[in-house]
A = this chain, B = another copy of it.
């Protein structure tokens, strides 16, 4: 079986031999996944060489295809002049995204190599929160003042056909002294007489969003209204940009990914193994170190009951089981809460309702698991009371775990704390403490029989 060469091997060869035509031909038939994989297999030297062999336009296309973390890294590695040329070819929201992610001095160095006007508009966009309307909008849209005639608009479209090729073209936005007036779709424009002024055919009272609207507010807006794109205005009602539904969806999907990675302890919500080792280690460690302190606190409960443990050494086998299983049950509840919060099906204040819905499941599963582990303990040591102690501790702790797991995300959300990173550690620490306490206390009470 002939093994097909891997994309990065082909690219490496093209880069090393500077076979520009082969390189471009090969790149153009790769999909985004292969491009991202290839870039992560190249050394820094090869990456820079690859970008230098492409035109700024082609380089920009490549950068658009790879994960943002990778793209930002590439831009940081390049020299400012080269980076500026490539960034100039990117759409406005990407420009702001990338330049907003790198240290300010580097960003400024790059922007000083760009056209003043473009750099200014990027600086404006960078001000916005990544997840706000301002951070998600694009500035490549067509807008004309009300007094413009249809003829003048058509002439502008025709003479700027190249520039407008990458623009959002479903609507034309009409302004009055920069303030948003209304929208106009292409069909109406083409079917109107050439002397007609835009003010006569514009659709006023169109929906708009504010530039500082949050991602949550935008999602709610687009859920209620079936628009493809919506104009963004600032507090002076000036038209600043357009938000496209597809960009919002992307931002929403990204946020869900970030949340997932954070629940697993990936601080910053993203990690690619091509990131520097020290950076990866440090970010993971920031979460691990908090966890180990919490773990020590929880395990100190065992230390308090060392005498009981010496008397019933078999218990030491079950403590990790109780701890782990409670953590599992609790994390299931956390996952459902995070999911329901993001769907909007539950509100942060509904702590009691969620608790009731969780303890029913917690009781059922706690009983089953308690009976399972109790039976295992009984069979192993031939001591019914050991089974009772261990099983009883797991049953009760499962109830505790699902109660906490279900409600902690809501409580954190009410306190405006991001529930993704914090819910897990808080849950496992408290359930560990409780689990150890229950098992050792029960054992202490039944000491005579064990």
Q: Which of B260, B271, B296, B369 contacts A288 (CB 8 A)?
A: B369
Chain B residues near A278 (CB, 8 Å)? Answer: 364
Name A84-120 residues within 8 Å CB distance of B.
none
Given A223-B31, A344-B36, A432-B320, A277 contacting B364 (CB threshold 8 A): yes
A149 at the interface (CB under 8 A from B): no
Pick the residue among B29, B291, B344 that contacts A34 (CB under 8 A). Answer: B344
Assess the A339–B261 pair: CB atoms within 8 A. Answer: yes
Best-surrounded residue of A335, A343, A372 (most CB of chain B within 10 A): A343
Given contacts A33-B344, A295-B320, contact A336 B246 (CB under 8 A): no
Within 8 A of B (CB), among A22-36: 29-34, 36
B314 touches A313 (CB 8 A): no
Which residues of chain B are near A265, meaning CB under 8 Å?
328, 331-332, 335
Residues of B within 8 A of A273 (CB): 336, 340, 346, 354, 357-358
- A168 close to B (CB within 8 Å): no
Cβ–Cβ < 8 Å partners of A345 in chain B: 33, 36-37, 40, 67, 70, 272, 274
Check B319 against A319 for contact (C-beta < 8 Å): yes
9-residue interface stretch from A125-133, A152-160, A303-311: A303-311
Indicate if A264 sits at the interface (CB-CB under 8 A). Answer: yes
Once A316-B316, A345-B40 are accepted as A-B contacts, the answer to whether A284 and B32 lie under 8 Å apart by CB is no
Q: What B residues does A32 contact at CB under 8 A?
A: 220, 223-224, 344
In the complex, which residues of chain B have a beta carbon less than 8 angstroms from the beta carbon of A320? 295, 298-299, 302, 319-320, 323, 432, 436
Q: Which residues on B sit within 8 Å (CB–CB) of A334? A: 264
Query: How many A residues touch the partner, as a band?
Result: 35 or more
This chain's copy number in the assembly:
2
Interface of A, helix, strand, loop or mixed by DSSP: helix
- Please measure, in the bound complex, the distance between the C-alpha atom of A23 and the C-alpha atom of B429, giving whole angstroms: 47
Q: What's the Cα separation between A436 and B310 when bound, in Å?
A: 18
A351: shortest Cβ distance to chain B, in Å? 13
Give min CB distance, A263 to chain B, whole Å: 7
Select the residue from A31, A65, A319, A324 with max chain B CB neighbours within 10 A.
A324
| Top-8 shortest CB links A-B | A33-B344, A264-B335, A32-B223, A31-B224, A260-B260, A316-B316, A281-B364, A273-B357
Binding site for B on A (CB under 8 A): 29-34, 36-37, 40, 65, 67, 70, 220-221, 223-224, 245-246, 249-250, 252-253, 256-257, 260-261, 263-266, 270-274, 277-278, 280-281, 284-285, 287-289, 291-292, 295-296, 298-300, 302-303, 306, 309-310, 313-314, 316-321, 323-325, 327-329, 331-332, 334-336, 339-340, 343-347, 354, 357-358, 360-361, 364-365, 368-369, 372-373, 376, 380, 428, 432, 436
